Structure 1
């Protein structure tokens, strides 16, 4: 269609403006990002079109939930148009969902998002969508709505879109110019969200990325930075609007690009944290961080709790192939600085089965990752991804130059769980097995560091407190600590209750604190051999009776009385009994069996 049939004005709620719903949908719910953060792009679009007379709503979730929401909305009021976010993973959801909307109600539907550049005639024909918005979407979406809903102008006059003309031929209009002054955009509003209240706030401090990594479609775009004042205004607006926010998520690639700008953010965030209890996340590029001595310390001091850096490989040669513009030495230096600055969580990603991958390159990468994990036990999370042929990346355009063959360019066989491209040295099963092996090595090394006592008490407690107070999790927390039942229960109590360790008990108050075991005796103590054991460790009569009375109801001083009564004549003095009890209780503590509560 070159022009759209406008919806009758009488069908719209003119007082509030035409209703427009924007969706980010997936089939899989488990551990997807939309469970945690709002779709920032859609929230920004919503704020923009609201200023221009539309009434937006934003939903992120499963396709089933999205369909139910649209059914309810159509029962209560007429929805004038729908926008669908499309990325590499959810195209197979967007296409039939769009067709369902067109067949059921005939509503105008617009599709946008990072996958838009790869949507061609077949998608437009099969989905029935009216247009695909390519590139920055604010002005494009507004003009599309003006055309499709209000009948203003024609599709061919709108820059930055693709559509089918009256003959079913693909039309691509000229590229839309980027927004030069991002401070002119309105702040997103939680009122637009139809998903529910979250405890985090996503922020883009800039757009574009000066780097041109071969596997990424974000790189090489013109960098435009918002002013610090404008960003901080958005944060204050978000904190006032949603008092549940505890975690601010800087989602752009540009946050650490300019040292002075980042330092300015740190000063402003530090001041704001005097009014609100929150911590924050950002992405950092090793090459910029390593050139800014002291910056990581300033960031941590200002409340940085978690940062992500790109690692991708441990091979300097492959880093150059990926055009990462960083080195293994720079990444290692950043890990050291983060550790020394007291950063609680640092995360980095490794690509398995990427450019020129071989068994040898994977072995080199594993040795490098092992070194990084050992440098900062308990701090560094390693995530693994398989190479995916995202649209318009250097590798996707010319895979042979990177020693790769793409077999399934649309990833119809994968949800990130199986490779869709192979290298000259490794076929698909070999890459899949390599990913599993690498994951097992990472987890084994993490468990080993914990078992060796290389992970400090404070590092473990920091992870639990971040999770309890700010809703931030990590691989260490979920996959390592939480799998150790006694450790997990002990640190959960330390993070969430008044419980403390013996080292935190003030001098002279030891006898007034109440020890409490962290497990149920019926479940933890085995009697099969005729005597009490905990995890195969035989308890002496004193240890058993002390553990029995570590219910949180008796003070340490009262336990001494219990021991003297239970074992008369065993101790030469009360002082001797107190010393032995203190020794036993602290041995229990080292095994993560108990905590101490104040009187």
Structure 2
């Protein structure tokens, strides 16, 4: 069967009229794993990653003629793109089958299937759900759609939601990602996704309702094996572990670091983690090439951290921050503005924490009420009118702060804070790195002309010219 997998993205006209992604381009890891499973099952697969590919539905219908098109639709403005392109595929070829997957349709399955341009929803991780759907459509195996776990569909005008698919805890059973289906040189940083789920239970996060408290991961040996493939095949020396908490499994983290050290791999890597890393953790991370770690602080207010059920305390955050600085690993903080119940005192506590930590690099994004989360339900109980259609969701999410004020902090205060972040983002990051001798993220791994050019290109595209939002 011919299957097209789509990663919707917003683009803008850049230098010399070229279109560019509104965000730094990262590998569409979920689609790469789905593509690998489908190819292993004997299907023809193409990936349309709109971060790096300007083609339109008519181009794929002419050149590939897909029979099934799968859209990865997370929560955000890209819902507009997914809607428009799904409609266009259906307009040109009404017989084509459209399946949506990822967070938004998994959380709002019935609402998504109410749209005439969506035939199926893959709930949760979609590798084997899409494989079985393709087998059913092509060979009637399994014989009934109701036999496919994790699938939702329409039958006689009614939405049918099948039982959940068993969660994959041992991700080593998956094939390597289908990197050959995307133009690898066009991505600013090569990322790997090595785990699913998160041990934290923050009430604002999509992870608990999406993964339902379950954890799955690749082994350290498999991670290093994939890095060796990327290094050998695509000359990758800088890796980004693109997941909520790369470090949650300490034995796996230590084995990973030791493998990289023992193999003398000339690489650098960065990740996201929770506060609470020990000195032994950080020492091994540094020795294995870790150059930067981001961790969710969310707020400098102990009261607000307790309200959103962050397990890390401010003391944990400060201690982890000091350890990263000591070992010259660049720390990045993730903060959330407009959290429900936030007071001016909470807001000032966040600003004070940033000053206390020496004005490190941070991101400050607006709170989004993700459907299915506990904080979303909290907002609904206090007056939030949920959008009634998929298109209304796209409009709702695209508004600054979703058009709703949930805390007590005047918008002028948060807006000014964000303006300063955008204005000084690059210089704050550079200044902090220079003050603390953190050059690892800016220097080539080796001194070959190709590697030097790669680092300059990366530095310019990511730290100087990229647009900032939120």
- State whether structure 2 residue 80 is matched by structure 1 residue 92: yes
TM-score (norm 2): 0.84
Q: Which piece of structure 1 moves more, 70-79 or 214-223?
A: 70-79
1:146-157 mapped onto 2 (5 Å cutoff): 146-152=135-141, 153-157=143-147
Q: Which residue number corresponds to residue 69 of structure 2? A: 82
Equivalent residue in structure 2 for 1:283, among 259, 272, 285:
272
Gaps of 5+ in 1: 1-17, 375-379, 480-599
Change (3 A) 1:468 1:355: farther
> How much has 1:75 moved relative to structure 2?
2.5
C-alpha distance in 1, partners of 2:115/2:267? Answer: 46
Q: Which residue number corresponds to residue 448 of structure 2? A: none
C-alpha distance in 1, partners of 2:417/2:244? Answer: 27
Question: CA offsets, 1:66-115, max 9 Å, x none?
Answer: 42xx4333323432221111111122221232122122112111110111
1:352·1:434 contact (CA, 8 Å) conserved in 2? no
C-alpha distance in 1, partners of 2:251/2:272? Answer: 16
> How much has 1:132 moved relative to structure 2?
0.4
Question: CA offsets, 1:347-383, max 9 Å, x none?
Answer: 1111110021122211111111121235xxxxx3111
Q: Which residue number corresponds to residue 23 of structure 1? A: 6
Q: Which residue number corresponds to residue 16 of structure 2? A: none
2:220·2:256 contact (CA, 8 Å) conserved in 1? yes
TM-score (norm 1): 0.67
C-alpha distance in 2, partners of 1:257/1:96? Answer: 39
- The number of equivalent residue pairs is 440
Question: CA offsets, 1:472-505, max 9 Å, x none?
Answer: 55999539xxxxxxxxxxxxxxxxxxxxxxxxxx
- State whether structure 2 residue 341 is matched by structure 1 residue 356: yes
1:296·1:337 contact (CA, 8 Å) conserved in 2? yes
Q: Which residue number corresponds to residue 395 of structure 1? A: 375
Taking only aligned residues, the RMSD between alpha carbons, in angstroms, comes to 3.1
Higher relative contact order (CA 8 A, sep 6+): 2
1:200·1:246 contact (CA, 8 Å) conserved in 2? no
Q: Which residue number corresponds to residue 270 of structure 1? A: 261
Change (3 A) 1:64 1:249: closer
> 3-state SS of the aligned residue for 2:207?
coil
C-alpha distance in 2, partners of 1:140/1:450? Answer: 42
1:499-510 mapped onto 2 (5 Å cutoff): none
1:148-167 mapped onto 2 (5 Å cutoff): 148-152=137-141, 153-166=143-156
> 3-state SS of the aligned residue for 1:412?
helix
> How much has 1:125 moved relative to structure 2?
3.6
> How much has 1:138 moved relative to structure 2?
1.0
2:133·2:148 contact (CA, 8 Å) conserved in 1? yes
> How much has 1:322 moved relative to structure 2?
0.9
> 3-state SS of the aligned residue for 2:8?
strand
1:213·1:322 contact (CA, 8 Å) conserved in 2? yes
Larger of the two Rg values belongs to structure: 1
C-alpha distance in 2, partners of 1:85/1:450? Answer: 32
Q: Which residue number corresponds to residue 346 of structure 1? A: 331
Change (3 A) 1:424 1:308: closer
> 3-state SS of the aligned residue for 1:383?
strand
Q: Which residue number corresponds to residue 117 of structure 1? A: 106
> 3-state SS of the aligned residue for 1:260?
helix
Question: CA offsets, 1:526-574, max 9 Å, x none?
Answer: xxxxxxxxxxxxxxxxxxxxxxxxxxxxxxxxxxxxxxxxxxxxxxxxx
Question: CA offsets, 1:15-58, max 9 Å, x none?
Answer: xxx3211001123456544x521110000000011111112122
Equivalent residue in structure 2 for 1:313, among 283, 292, 299:
299
Equivalent residue in structure 2 for 1:137, among 126, 137, 157:
126
Gaps of 5+ in 2: 13-19, 388-392, 445-451, 466-470
1:266·1:302 contact (CA, 8 Å) conserved in 2? yes
C-alpha distance in 2, partners of 1:256/1:197? Answer: 28
Question: CA offsets, 1:418-463, max 9 Å, x none?
Answer: 444322535xxx33x2322223455788899899x98746748556
Equivalent residue in structure 2 for 1:437, among 383, 399, 416:
416
- State whether structure 2 residue 443 is matched by structure 1 residue 465: yes
> 3-state SS of the aligned residue for 2:334?
strand
Change (3 A) 1:72 1:424: closer
Change (3 A) 1:384 1:127: farther
Q: Which piece of structure 1 moves more, 305-314 or 52-61?
A: 52-61
C-alpha distance in 1, partners of 2:169/2:320? Answer: 32
